[in-house]
Amino acid sequence: MRRRTGWTMLAGYAVLVVFAAIYLYPFLIQIATSFKTDSQAAATPLSLAPNPLDLGTWKRIFGLTGDSSVPILGWFANSVLITVVVTAGRVFFDSLAGYALSRMRFRGRGFLFAAVLAVMSVPGVALLIPKFLMVTYLGIYDTYAAMILPLLVDAAGVFIMKQFFDSVPVSVEEAARIDGAGLFRTFWSVVLPMARPALITLTILSFQGSWNEFTHFLVTTQSPEHKTLVTGLASLASGELGAGSQFPLKMGAALLTTIPVAILFFSFQRYFVRGANEGGVKG
Partner 1 sequence: MRRNTRLALVATTAAAALTVSACGGGFDQQSSAQQNTGGKAKLTILIGSSGDAETNAVKDAAKKWSDKSGNTAEVVVASDLAQQLGQGFAGGTPPDVFYADAGRIGDFAKAGNLYAYGDKVQDAGFLDSLAQTFTYDGKLQCAPKDYSTLALVINTDLWAKAGLTDADIPKDWAGLEAVSKKLTSGNVTGLVISGEWDRIGAFAKQAGGWIVSDDGKTATADTPEMKAGLDEVQKMLKSGSMKYAKQVDAGWGGEAIGKGKAAMTIEGNWIRGALSKDFPNIKAKVVELPAGPAGKGTLVFSNCWGIAAKSKNQAAAVDLVKSMIATDQQLAFAKAFGVMPSTTEGAQKFAETYPDDAAFAKGGEYGQGPVNIPGFDPVKAAFNSNLEQLASKDTKAVLADLQKNTEAATKGQ
Partner 2 sequence: MHMAARARSRRPGGGIRGREGIAGWVFTAPMIVVLGVFLFIPVLMALYVSLTSWNGNGSPFAGGQNATFVGLDNYSALFTRDGLTRDNFMQSLGNNFWYVVFVVPLQTATSFFLALVVSNRFLKGKSFFRTAFYFPSVTSSIAISVVFLFLFQNSGAVNALLALVGIDGPAWFSDSRGLFHIAFGAFGVDNPAWASADILGRSIWEWISGPSVAMCVVIGLAIWTTTGTFMLLFLAALQDLPVEVDEAAMLDGVGPWQKLRHITLPMIKPTLFLVITLGLIGTWQVFDQIYVMGKGAPAGTTLTPAYLSYQESFRSLKYGTGAAMAFIVFVIIVLLTWFQRWLMSEDRGTTRRTRRAAGVAVGLEQGTHAGGPG
Provide the binding-site residues for partner 1, judged by CB under 8 A.
Answer: 67, 69, 107-108, 111, 132, 136-142, 222-224, 227, 235, 238-245
The interface with partner 2 within residues 118-137 (CB under 8 A) comprises 119-134, 137
- In whole angstroms, the minimum distance from the beta carbon of 99 to partner 1 comes to 20
The interface with partner 2 within residues 18-37 (CB under 8 A) comprises 19-20, 22-24, 26-27, 29-30, 33
216 binds, among partner 1, partner 2, none (CB under 5 to 8 A by kind): partner 2
CA atoms within 13 A of residue 65's CA, in its CB half-sphere: 13
Contacts of 145 (CB under 8 A, 6+ apart): none
Residue 41 and residue 65 in contact, taking contact as beta carbons nearer than 8 Å: no
Compute the radius of gyration of the chain from its Cα atoms.
24
Residue 39 and residue 20 in contact, taking contact as beta carbons nearer than 8 Å: no
22 binds, among partner 2, partner 1, none (CB under 5 to 8 A by kind): partner 2
- In whole angstroms, the minimum distance from the beta carbon of 68 to partner 1 comes to 9
127 binds, among partner 1, partner 2, none (CB under 5 to 8 A by kind): partner 2
Binding pattern for the stretch 68-97 against partner 2, x by CB under 8 A and - elsewhere: -------------------------xx-xx
283 binds, among partner 1, partner 2, none (CB under 5 to 8 A by kind): partner 2
